[in-house]
Amino acid sequence: MKNHSKFLIPGIVVVGMILRLPFTAMPPILSSISKSEGVPVGQLGMLTTIPLIAFALFSSTAPKVAQKIGLERAFALMLMLLIVGSGIRVINTTFLYIGTMLIGIGVAHMNVLLPSVIRTYFPMKVGPMTSVFTFSMMLATAVGASLAAPITALTSWQVFVGLLTILLVGALLVWLPNERFAANRQVTQMASDHKKTVRFNVWKNRNAWLLLFFGGMQSAMFYVLMAWGPTMAIQTGLTPATAGLFSGLNSLIGLPFALTVPSIVVRLNKRQRQWLVAGFSILGTIGYLLLLNPQGTFTYWLLVNLFIGVGTSVLFPYLMTTFTLKTSTPGQTAQLSGMSQSGGYLIAAVGPAMFGYAYGWWHSWTPQIIVIVILFILMTIAIVVVENREKIIDA
């Protein structure tokens, strides 16, 4: 383990907490924002799409930022960007969108660089440290989504956003000692890494492309259900309250897996990882196959959400661990993570939109479910091929 500030692990925890919270806490209060600002609630749906677009556009720039100013300083800069973005959201509707884009840009960089931080400082503890940030991220997401509406009802949506901004300021204060501790040395280390990795172009790596496709489709598996699952459930006769209950269930399902999957993955050989990831990919696919014959019962929708929820809850922490396992240096980790997440989140952003748009064409969910099931099967094949190799990128 490399020397580091005593605030590094607390910093990783707080960064994990705010990786999704500033935008995933917004959907439950969209109706309140709509009434307050006089904007159609449908138009505000862009607030959940904008961050995904930012992830797609800016994830690939993160390694270059880290090479120029160092990992620790990059995180401090992006936390400041999040604070500004969150704070300006309360000004008016225009700044609500601008602020959300700034949040997306900041989160995109930290998404990519966190695995690199773990590779740098905890090369022998990749599993446990990946668990730390994925668990804190999912816990904060679940808590934030559950508290957003009650806090807004008691005060206003502006007050709730103000509380989120204060939380971001707290995260920056926890992280800052890391920036002072090692920023200069880290610039040198990332530059040294860059010399080792400059010889290859990750965008020309076939296995990296397969990992990108896997990352995008496992995100789509989650986001399509979150976006359209409640609508499909209500169409079969469930009440909106019951349909909404399953959204919360999906957030909670992920917690134990976020805590355990990374540590399990690092102990497995490549054959065992193939069985693990293929098994849970198929589990999520079965959940979508069930949607081809929708039923209006609580038990049916519970099964659908359990199959898909458990599948995606394993695949996401597996993916975050894989960025580190498939590379040999922090610079390589950042490059692979940046490439996979930029393309992956583009798929994640387009997937739910196309899924819903297709309903307008066919007035049925069946055609797009069949297409997405085929894509999930291809996703499973892709990751099995990737796991044939211990490393995608060698030193």
- Residue in 181, 155, 134 with CA at minimum distance from that of residue 12: 134
For the chain, percent of residues with pLDDT exceeding 70: 93
pLDDT of the residue at 182: 56
**Dihedral angle at the C-alpha atoms of 155, 158, 160, 162, nearest 10 degrees?**
-130
Residue count of the chain, please give it: 395
Residue range(s) in the chain whose domain bears CATH number 1.20.1250.20: 7-190, 202-388
pLDDT at 274: 96
Using CA atoms, how far residue 368 sits from 36, 88, 246, 358, 379, in Å, is 36, 38, 22, 7, 16
pLDDT, one tens digit per residue, over 148-198 is: 888 998 999 999 999 999 999 999 999 999 887 654 454 445 445 555 545
How would residue 84 be classed by pLDDT, with cut points 50, 70 and 90? very high
What's the rounded mean pLDDT across residues 2-18?
86
pLDDT, residue 187, reads: 43
Residue 282 C-beta-side C-alpha neighbours within 13 Å = 8
Rounded distance between C-alpha atoms, residue 139 and residue 18, angstroms:
10
Amino acid sitting at position 278: A
Distance CA 387, CA 200 (A): 20
Q: What pLDDT digit, counting tens, does each position of 11-51 carry?
A: 999 999 999 889 888 877 888 888 888 888 777 878 878 88
Q: CATH top-level class for 7-190?
A: mainly alpha
Superfamily the domain 202-388 falls into: MFS general substrate transporter like domains (1.20.1250.20)
What average pLDDT is seen over the chain? 87
Q: Which of the pair, 206 or 329, is modelled with greater confidence?
A: 206
pLDDT digits (tens, 9 = 90+) for 221-262: 988 887 788 888 889 998 877 877 777 677 788 889 988 999
Whether 1 has a pLDDT exceeding 80, the answer reads no
Confidence at residue 197, expressed as pLDDT on a 0 to 100 scale: 47
pLDDT at position 188? 46
Per-residue model confidence (pLDDT) at position 95: 95
3-state DSSP of 179-196? HHHHHHHHHHHHHHHHHH
pLDDT given for residue 199 in this prediction: 56
Q: How many CB atoms lie within 10 A of CB 249?
A: 15
| Average of per-residue pLDDT across 91-98 | 94
∠ Cα 332 337 341 (to 5°): 155
Taking the C-alpha atoms of residue 363 and residue 238, their distance in angstroms, rounded to an integer, is: 19
At 254-306, the pLDDT tens digits run 889 988 999 999 999 989 999 999 999 999 999 999 999 999 999 999 999 99
